[in-house]
Structure 1
Amino acid sequence: MTHDTLPGALPSRTMYQWFEQSALRLPDQPALEVGDTVLTYAELRRLALVLAARIVRKHGGPPERVALAAARSVGAYAGYLAIQRLGAAVVPLNPDHPAQRNLDIAQRAGVTVALVGDRATGLFGALPERHRPTVLELADDERADPALLEAALQETLPPAPEDLDREAYLLFTSGSTGQPKGVPIRHRHFSPYLEHNIPRYAIGPGSRLSQVFGLTFDAHAFDLFATWGGGGTLVVPSAADLYAPVDFITARKLTHWFSVPSVIREAQRLGTLPLGRCTTLRYSMFGAESVTVQHVALWREVAPHSEIHNMYGPTEVAICCADHQVEGDRSAWDGFTGGTVPIGTMYPGMEGVLLDEDGREADEGELCVRGPQRFDGYLDPRENTGRFLGYEHGGPVTVYDGTGPLTARHWYRTGDRVRREKGLMVHCGRLDQQVKIRGHRVETGEVEAVVRRHPAVADVAVIALPTADGETELVAAYAGREVDPARFDAWLRDQIPLHMVPARLTRLEGLPLNDNGKTDRNALARILGTPEGS
């Protein structure tokens, strides 16, 4: 699979080349801010090179895949760059995730080296020595001694790889079988994404971008390499900062913000979202969850000078493949299905098609995508079965069955139900969120959209749970003002058919969030697993 550079686009590069070209061009510009620590491009590059040399010396040569079990520290970011400098693939591990899950991922990925922060120093100690990777510890205040640099490079480091076909990173997403699926992204998948987005969001020297996403979440790669590829400054919030994002944005004079909408809704619930103060923001990007009309209206008041973009894409297509800029007054972006704003149009070079249940092109159906950002298939090839389609416009659809080659012409099935409205794509929920209630097909996203319209509701999630008699019922949790359950039920019965009305509506102080700020539906199921909500 090849990628032809689009006319006028930036040239394709490896992740490390995106960083290094900025570092050589802008050595004295700030590249990274973590707490009170600020590193210039020259300092961050020097640190990455020394760490790369340490890896080669201790391991005995450049590795193929390296686990990175560190977060929000200078060592974590320098370690990421060191891995890229060696042409290896980063396999991020979250130090806060269960140790066994991290070990399973590392072993499935076949990592031979691990860089670990202070919260993960003992992670690999439980493994038999013969199965243990080469482990290097990263200090939170990691620093490079300039005197060691030249000797380290001359003795140890091979030339920087330029092969765009090498793996850049390997992420693991939730799988329907309960085992995470490995998603390898190569440099040739990721580079077109930067070629489009760096100029799209005018990222350059003086730009100050947030780094909200954890390294196990695919959007982290935008934060790091759109920033460094454009010559901007990556500004890293602490976990506590995310509960008061306006304070962080204003104190650090951010120009770009990228997060899930849940971060903003939680701040609103906590009363830490004052209006009109984020005057330095020029671009605000939201993704990974549906962006509602209410969210956009609120953020316009928070950041009055900022463009607002809804970004869409699965991990399998290198972060995002479509976006929509919300423009004009509310009448221009209100009234779309589900009370959300559109996900917009496909990126240049990417193709999308909506296929209905019979495999025909339609105005509503499953979004299937292909193009230079689409990955080549899962780490375990068996997981490709059923996830790709062979299809040319107007012809028959064939579901990939695992036999024969998987080619660039195959479409990846996103599992997202999308509708075309007013020439734009609108996300209508996950196909796997479709449940049957008393014989009726119900999209939980549709029920959420209706509950969200109630004036007392700030946020909502609807899930399906089994009942004692083996049936399935809908239950909902909402954040907002307390509403009498009988009155809420009556209001919903006026809005939607009876079979779509949740059997229980539970008010929570806030919906549970995972480490990336998304609604944690597994945690919600545990909370709502009994009628008492305990």
Structure 2
Amino acid sequence: MEETERTVPTVPQLFEAVAGWAGDETAVVFRTAAVSYAELNTAANRLARCLVDRGVGPDMTVAVSVPRSIELPTVLLAVLKAGGAYLALDPDYPAERLSAMVADARPLLHLRTAELALPAPAAGVDGGADGADAAHAVDVLDVVIDDPVFRAECAARSGDDLTDAERRAPLLPAHLMYLVYTSGSTGRPKGVAVSHAGVSALVEGQHRHLAPGPGDRVLQWAATGFDASFWDLSLALFSGATLVLAPAADLLPGQPLRDTLARHRVTHATLPPVALSVTEPDGVLTGGAVVSTGDALSPALARAWSAGRRLFNGYGPTEVTVGISVGQVTGDEEIGVGRPLPGSSVQVLDSRLRPVDPGAEGELYLSGPGLARGYLNRAAETATRFVADPAGPPGSRMYRSGDRGRRRADGELFFTGRADHQVKVRGFRVELDEVEARLTAHPSVGLACALVEGDLATARVVAYVTLREGARPPGGTAVDSGAAAAELRRHAARTLPGHMVPSRVTVLDHFPTTPNGKIDRAALPTVRPGGPARPVPPGEPTGPGTAVEAELCALVARIVGADGVRPGDNFFDIGGHSVLATLLARQIRRAFDVTVPMRAIFEAGTLAELARTVALARASGA
């Protein structure tokens, strides 16, 4: 056994050490419920023993479908204590994508609450880039954690910490900790396999920069299906601070998020720039710390959010243990991404893997204990991206990130862009190749090209397609009716998460090309051709019926960048998303002098319904 395998702690060891001295401190809060470190540790130990009895052990994957709740950290810790690795399944993802993830990961168990059964894809629905039948055969043992019989079984188990003798094998830092699926350039999401080895360095870096501890309150903002959620969990639970969970609706950027930060007296939060851009900083996180990550931080945002609190900028793709560098920023200087975490390295190399001079741009190559094992079931892609490190000891690897950057003479790192088609949309990583592969899987589509339009808050994926010669137009009607675009968006939504579904699909006769024959992306139309976004059902009015409807449709058209917006449109069907909903609520307040709850925007089936809500609010003086 190597020295690092004996001395580097695993997640259970890190958490149990904190629970030993912070037992009476509050570990987790959700709404009005709270649990102490001692209670959380005991509950996780009991559940872990039940999981071991069902076969969970080191390097075994457990799928988890548990909503934001007081039980969620218990379940995640229990999986890790049993020696397993968790795969968090987001219930908001399309059923086809979830089933593809499960089919790829082959988890031993599926831990879920009663209301979150693993969705079964409809037979015959195509889900891969090749358009083949992808009704995945999923045979996973369900364990319903809120079933009274199972609860009683867990309650009867010992609450003491598990020993390696009780596990199916000793748990080592090299064993798998979690699987996170991220957008894949091949047209299918890819599972990134992350071990326990980098957690200790991550926690050391968090303590060095952010200094969390008892009395602090850390917001769990990121969804569990994203690696950033582990940053929130470790920042709180490996320091004695309190992890604050809240319903998803209370975390929407803007007023809901601001209210949550204030109501729960949050001291530490990690948020993407898009959330910071639509949330007022006054009166929240005062004296605390906020970490911006997931996208470029602008000087204006840095100045706004560094006033009255410490602001940090972080960097790290999914292929490392959440992050690899972090640094404090003020907005009064060039904004970098800090310096590497303890034991980690970020090399700026040229195309021949030679270090570039300070200030020169190159590709960022990442190495250190937090490096992922690679991509699950994708040996070739792993070998391409995780390469030998010529500057490291024999056998060491580095991750070829595809990110461009430079290092200042004093060691500060700067991110300057991408070397491929990977982009960020509202903080989410998106491989445009995956969007294009999904669209070309439709039998009517010949070629597809996807890109991103809009600024930080309004960023959205849009797509352009040409049809195969002789193919029946999608939707079965004339292309210019909008039915083709609507059908292709529905096709994309069967497998792509919401942030990857094109908000607009434009059907072209042919693509503009550059002199060397490639698609000329700069020459693609940026405004949808005139005409409605969808076919008008018989009997539906084609224009606004009231002044409120007319003004509301105009507001929505500007926000989503669409033409021909009508009262019968659904805000989210024509390109709206949660951040744009925040902007819409703000515009409604300014235009009509009323405050409309965010849930009214989400629940309105059409803009006509939302207009009625606005009109009623005006009439009541709300």
TM-score, normalisation: structure 2: 0.62
Within the alignment, does 1:411 sit opposite 2:398 as a pair?
yes
Unaligned runs of 5+ in 2: 124-134, 424-431, 433-450, 466-507, 513-519, 528-556, 562-574, 582-622
Match for residue 344 of structure 2? 350
Within the alignment, does 1:148 sit opposite 2:142 as a pair?
no
Match of 1:367 among 361, 364, 369: 364
Match of 1:164 among 151, 157, 173: 173
Match of 1:53 among 43, 49, 57: 49
Match for residue 81 of structure 2? 85
Match of 1:383 among 381, 397, 412: 381
8 A contact 2:108–2:140 mirrored in 1: yes
What do residues 3-43 of structure 1 show as CA deviations (whole Å, max 9, x unaligned)?
869xxxxx732112222222222221110011111111122
Match for residue 473 of structure 1? 521
What do residues 398-442 of structure 1 show as CA deviations (whole Å, max 9, x unaligned)?
xxxxxxxx975232111111133464322122211499xxxxxxx
Cα shift at 1:112: 1.0
Match for residue 96 of structure 1? 92
Cα shift at 1:306: 1.2
8 A contact 1:46–1:149 mirrored in 2: no
Distance 1:163 1:419 in 2: 35
Match for residue 190 of structure 1? 199
8 A contact 2:365–2:400 mirrored in 1: yes
Distance 2:8 2:29 in 1: 27
Distance 2:17 2:92 in 1: 34
8 A contact 1:74–1:142 mirrored in 2: no
SS in structure 1 at match of 2:295? coil
SS in structure 2 at match of 1:183? strand
Match for residue 320 of structure 2? 317
Match for residue 298 of structure 1? 304
Matches within 5 A, 1:204-353: 204-243=213-252, 244-267=256-279, 273=280, 275-300=281-306, 304-327=307-330, 330-333=331-334, 341-353=335-347
Distance 2:263 2:159 in 1: 38
Distance change >3 Å, CA 124–CA 469, structure 1 → 2: closer
Q: Which amino acid aligns with 2:407?
A: R
Match for residue 20 of structure 2? 24
8 A contact 1:367–1:414 mirrored in 2: yes
Distance 2:11 2:309 in 1: 28
8 A contact 1:287–1:310 mirrored in 2: yes
Distance 2:295 2:303 in 1: 16
Distance 1:66 1:73 in 2: 19
Cα shift at 1:374: 1.2
Distance 1:87 1:187 in 2: 10
Distance 1:134 1:385 in 2: 33
Distance 1:76 1:407 in 2: 40
8 A contact 2:363–2:401 mirrored in 1: yes
Cα shift at 1:237: 2.3
Q: Which amino acid aligns with 2:372?
A: F
What do residues 366-422 of structure 1 show as CA deviations (whole Å, max 9, x unaligned)?
1111111112322221222321344536x9xxxxxxxxxx97523211111113346
8 A contact 1:68–1:76 mirrored in 2: no
8 A contact 1:203–1:227 mirrored in 2: yes
Distance change >3 Å, CA 225–CA 149, structure 1 → 2: farther
Matches within 5 A, 1:515-530: none
Cα shift at 1:208: 0.6
Match for residue 135 of structure 1? 142
Distance 1:142 1:353 in 2: 53
Matches within 5 A, 1:496-507: 507=558
SS in structure 2 at match of 1:108? helix
Unaligned runs of 5+ in 1: 6-10, 268-272, 334-340, 396-405, 436-443, 479-505, 518-534
Distance 1:414 1:197 in 2: 22
Q: Percent identity?
A: 28
In our comparison, the structure showing a higher alpha carbon Rg is: 2
8 A contact 1:464–1:473 mirrored in 2: no
Cα shift at 1:75: 2.5
Within the alignment, does 1:110 sit opposite 2:106 as a pair?
yes
Cα shift at 1:126: 9.0
8 A contact 2:374–2:386 mirrored in 1: no
SS in structure 2 at match of 1:111? coil
What do residues 103-150 of structure 1 show as CA deviations (whole Å, max 9, x unaligned)?
221221121111012442253699999952221113399997799345
Q: Which amino acid aligns with 2:374?
A: G
SS in structure 2 at match of 1:214? coil
Q: Which amino acid aligns with 1:28?
A: D
TM-score, normalisation: structure 1: 0.72
Q: Which amino acid aligns with 2:401?
A: T
Distance 1:369 1:156 in 2: 34
Match for residue 617 of structure 2? none
Distance change >3 Å, CA 29–CA 391, structure 1 → 2: closer
8 A contact 1:213–1:219 mirrored in 2: yes
Between Structure 1 and Structure 2, the one with more strand by share is: 1
Paired residues, what number?
Answer: 439
8 A contact 2:43–2:159 mirrored in 1: no
8 A contact 2:453–2:460 mirrored in 1: no
Distance change >3 Å, CA 88–CA 157, structure 1 → 2: same
Q: Which amino acid aligns with 1:168?
A: M
Distance change >3 Å, CA 279–CA 79, structure 1 → 2: closer
Match for residue 498 of structure 2? none
Q: Which amino acid aligns with 1:412?
A: Y
8 A contact 1:12–1:195 mirrored in 2: no
Match for residue 392 of structure 1? 390
Match of 1:36 among 32, 41, 44: 32
